[in-house]
Chain A
Amino acid sequence: MSETLLETRSISKDFSSVYVLTDISIQVIKGEILGIIGENGAGKSTLMKILSGIHVPTSGEIIFEGKRVHIREPLDAKLLGIGLIPQEFNLIRELTVFDNVFLGSELRRRDGLLDKKAMMAKTRALLSELNVDIRPEERIENLSTAQKQMVEICKAVSIDAKLLIMDEPTTVLTQYEIDILFRLMRRLRDQGATIIYISHKLKEVKAICDRVIILRDGAVVSTEKIEDLSIIDMAQRMVGRELNQVFPAKGTPARDVVLEVRNLTVPGVIEDISFELHRGEILGLAGLVGAGRTEVAETILGVRKAEKGRVLINGKAVRISRPADAVANGISYLSEDRQGSGILVNFSVIKNISLVSLSSYCRYVLKLILRQKERASAEAHARRFNIKAPSLDARLEFLSGGNQQKVSLAKSIDSKPTVLIADEPTRGVDVSAKQEIYRLINSLASEGLACIFISSEQEEIIGMCHRVIVMRQGRAMGSLEGEGITEEEIIYLATGIREGVA
């Protein structure tokens, strides 16, 4: 017997007269896991923010448990029993885990003071139910990204939510943690909870959801039982066109070594990392979250101090103690943390693209910026990268994640580097933008750019790289090449089941 828990009737939302949602009518059935998928900018997050009271719809109605409700602020949603696990963490770094879990719904003793003991005990129970090993009295700032995600989930579960909304919860989780999360989701569903699951990862949606709703350009394009949709169907309906080959054909790298890393060591972080990178080569760094891949990049860039080891460019040893030195030596970085260290959201497209290479647009002692030259260069990038923006003077906060990432990539290569370190270049990016980023990196490589490609997604590594170094606990476990790059081999090396030849 399927009973409707929540229904939206013709919900629309505009931001300063730009419609992001039009006429959305969906039903959420009690006790199901409902997947909502769509490209970046399709309106998934906006819809969820409406359901959880962060945004108020411009028009339309929300029916919850048969009654019309008005959700004007997050507290209204909480009182109805709607819990949101947002895409960006919403935790207070300085407080403990249990403080955060009970933030806004603290338990109090009869004398009015906080009942820390009870909160700690309840948090401990919730955490052990989630099967995660975190102490309730640990401070958030000491936790890893994946652990923070678990705390977010714990927080949402703690209010005994009737409807739990998860916005891209697995972006930062390892496969092991994803399995735990899925087991937990199934158990919650079997206990009667209803879950809305938003994701880009169609494989996961296929694995966990009962039904799926596909959004495109702010409208519902289809609602199906999961059995009736293949992953390819989902992708095609999201994009609205046939998807051809995802990965472009690999080029052939040249013989000459452009970058050589020898015995790079940062105590406790990375251990004795050595490799060579050829012109036009895409070298993958694979491994689980926390294996030290980003740390290798940060050490090469001079953000971390190497205790031992050398970096050679075109055969010459160079000293790099900060990213500015790396750029001067032709090494560029595309950050995994787009908003944290990649782009400036309140700068325009043009100003972001030219940020690293600004000196080449300047003249005279005062370093006056040649604005026409700067604009022309940004226009060229926008065309080549197919960047969709209201205008090149629009601030990046108004662009979708995929377009922000393309700007970030344009910014990284505008300094015409010889080596590009691309760290999770497609994180939080939709299918079609992903495909474009693959195509771009591939064509840059065929023009001679050497690329270090860091990714947690196996398909990407397999589809893009000429060679792969698999890391585990800060060490290179082995290297795979050509046809030898397979999902199984990567997993074996990444989990330490097999040790290869580094």
Chain B
Amino acid sequence: MANSAIARALKRFEYQKYASFIALVVLFVLSALLSPFFLRPGNLVNILSQVSYTGMISLGMAFVIITGGIDLSVGSLVAFDSLIGVMFMNYVMGSVHNELVAVIAGIIAALAVGALTGLLNGITITRGRLAPFIVTLGTMAIFRSLALFIGNAGEIQSQSNIYGAFGLVNILFLPVPVWIMLALALVLDIVLNRTRYGRYLCAVGSNSRVAVFSAINVDRIKVIAYSITGALVAISSVLLSSRFNAVSTSNTGMGYELDAIAAVIVGGTPMTGGRGTIWGTIVGAIILGIINNMLNMLGVSAYLQGTVKGLVIIGAVYIQRQRA
């Protein structure tokens, strides 16, 4: 009797929902066994801080993927946003001679550009009735190229010391970017699961024709998702350029689109859209971070890490397929 009750409970247990959490726990234990350094607080904080930049972008990516779309331009946008922010800050500093005003102006400029470029992606996709893959593939090329052109393919240094400081500050043992990622996840999780917008987001991704007939403004829902992604990219850009107090137009944000998409997928959101999870995405990002960390500690060549990442993505999608 008791056995069958347990069996039934196990059968009803939603593996799909918790698969990424289980994977995280397994990976965590495995890593702790494999390397004595893994469990050191410094190392754990380091992992979190490394994944925070792409982690916050992946939250927006989750929204976009829930609508059934994709955003490939996020990596290039990190370079572009950072560049605009830092250059504008340097310019303001040169003209008003107030460092704080300049830093704030730079941050605002980066955020505005980020939200606007996201908006541009969204409007092009919905108004032009174009595939998100194509549009963002295009803007991915455009924004990287614009960044290289404006920055002369080189590195732009920030002329402010304040700017380079706040991105490295620790609050309660964790760096600022980690706190910001967690705070954003908290808010976006509520938006996804508790608000009208979140419900509409899933409806649009699930069947956009039903959504239209249900009096939902499908285009607006999509445009907002891309704009949110743009804004999150901008926040990440500000934190990232603050960390280095500089922007490298050729390296900054390179490959971030892959990391962000991978975090969403590994976290359990299906590529087909219609549903998704924010905390799962955070878990996905951390899983990828731990894998990178372990590969480093085990002395695997940095060049091979992409191979492992690729295999993890394909494996995650394969497992999802088997469950569906």
Q: Which residues in A have some Cβ–Cβ distance to B below 8 Å?
A: 16-17, 301, 303, 322-324, 326-328, 333, 335, 340-347, 351, 355-356, 358-359, 362, 366-369, 371, 411, 415
Interface segment among B21-29, B203-211, B291-299: the answer is B203-211
Q: Are B203 and A411 in contact (CB under 8 A)?
A: no
A415 and B213 alpha carbons, distance in the complex (Å): 13
Q: Which of chain B's residues have a CB closer than 8 A to the CB of A323?
A: 212-215
CB proximity of B176 to chain A, nearest CB, Å: 25
Q: Which of chain B's residues have a CB closer than 8 A to the CB of A335?
A: 213
Q: Mark B176-216, 1 if CB is under 8 A from A, else 0.
A: 00000000000000110011110110110011011011111
Q: Are B210 and A342 in contact (CB under 8 A)?
A: yes
A425 and B73 alpha carbons, distance in the complex (Å): 45
| Interface assignment of B144: CB less than 8 Å from any CB of chain A | no
A26 and B108 alpha carbons, distance in the complex (Å): 74
Q: Which of chain A's residues have a CB closer than 8 A to the CB of B209?
A: 340-341
| Interface assignment of B321: CB less than 8 Å from any CB of chain A | no
A-B pairs, top 4 by smallest CB distance, nearest first, are: A367-B196, A327-B215, A324-B215, A355-B214
Q: Are A322 and B195 in contact (CB under 8 A)?
A: no
Q: Which of chain B's residues have a CB closer than 8 A to the CB of A326?
A: 215
Q: Which of chain B's residues have a CB closer than 8 A to the CB of A328?
A: 215
Cross-chain contact of A356 among B195, B197, B215 (Cβ < 8 A): B215
A-B contact count (CB 8 A): 71
Q: Are A358 and B199 in contact (CB under 8 A)?
A: yes
From known contacts A346-B206, A346-B275, A347-B206, infer whether A333 and B213 are also in contact, taking CB-CB under 8 Å.
yes
Identify 14 residue pairs between A and B in the complex whose beta-carbon atoms are under 8 Å apart, listed by A's number: A340-B207, A340-B209, A340-B210, A341-B212, A342-B213, A344-B210, A356-B215, A362-B195, A362-B196, A367-B197, A369-B196, A369-B199, A371-B194, A415-B215
Q: Are B206 and A358 in contact (CB under 8 A)?
A: no
| Interface assignment of B11: CB less than 8 Å from any CB of chain A | yes
Q: How large is the interface on B (under 10, 10 to 19, 20 to 34, 35 or more residues)?
A: 20 to 34
| Interface assignment of B35: CB less than 8 Å from any CB of chain A | no
CB proximity of A106 to chain B, nearest CB, Å: 28
Q: Which of chain A's residues have a CB closer than 8 A to the CB of B191?
A: 366
A335 and B210 alpha carbons, distance in the complex (Å): 9
A86 and B206 alpha carbons, distance in the complex (Å): 24
Q: Which of chain B's residues have a CB closer than 8 A to the CB of A369?
A: 194-196, 199
Q: Are B195 and A324 in contact (CB under 8 A)?
A: no
A346 and B213 alpha carbons, distance in the complex (Å): 17
Q: Which of chain B's residues have a CB closer than 8 A to the CB of A17?
A: 11
Q: Which of chain B's residues have a CB closer than 8 A to the CB of A303?
A: 212-213
A342 and B212 alpha carbons, distance in the complex (Å): 10
| Interface assignment of B217: CB less than 8 Å from any CB of chain A | yes
Question: Nearest chain-B residue to A357 (Cβ)?
Answer: B215
Q: Which of chain B's residues have a CB closer than 8 A to the CB of A343?
A: 210
Q: Which of chain B's residues have a CB closer than 8 A to the CB of A345?
A: 207
Instruction: Using A323-B215, A366-B190, A366-B191 as known contacts, list a sample of 13 further A-B pairs with CB atoms less than 8 Å apart, ordered by residue number in A.
Output: A16-B11, A17-B11, A303-B213, A340-B207, A344-B206, A344-B207, A346-B274, A347-B203, A362-B195, A366-B195, A368-B194, A369-B195, A369-B196
Q: Which of chain A's residues have a CB closer than 8 A to the CB of B216?
A: 324, 355
A359 and B216 alpha carbons, distance in the complex (Å): 11
A16 and B13 alpha carbons, distance in the complex (Å): 13
Q: Are B199 and A356 in contact (CB under 8 A)?
A: no
Q: Which of chain B's residues have a CB closer than 8 A to the CB of A362?
A: 195-196
Q: Are A368 and B195 in contact (CB under 8 A)?
A: yes
CB proximity of B318 to chain A, nearest CB, Å: 21
Cross-chain contact of A358 among B11, B196, B213, B275 (Cβ < 8 A): B196
Q: Which of chain B's residues have a CB closer than 8 A to the CB of A359?
A: 196
Q: Which of chain A's residues have a CB closer than 8 A to the CB of B217?
A: 322, 324
A200 and B208 alpha carbons, distance in the complex (Å): 30
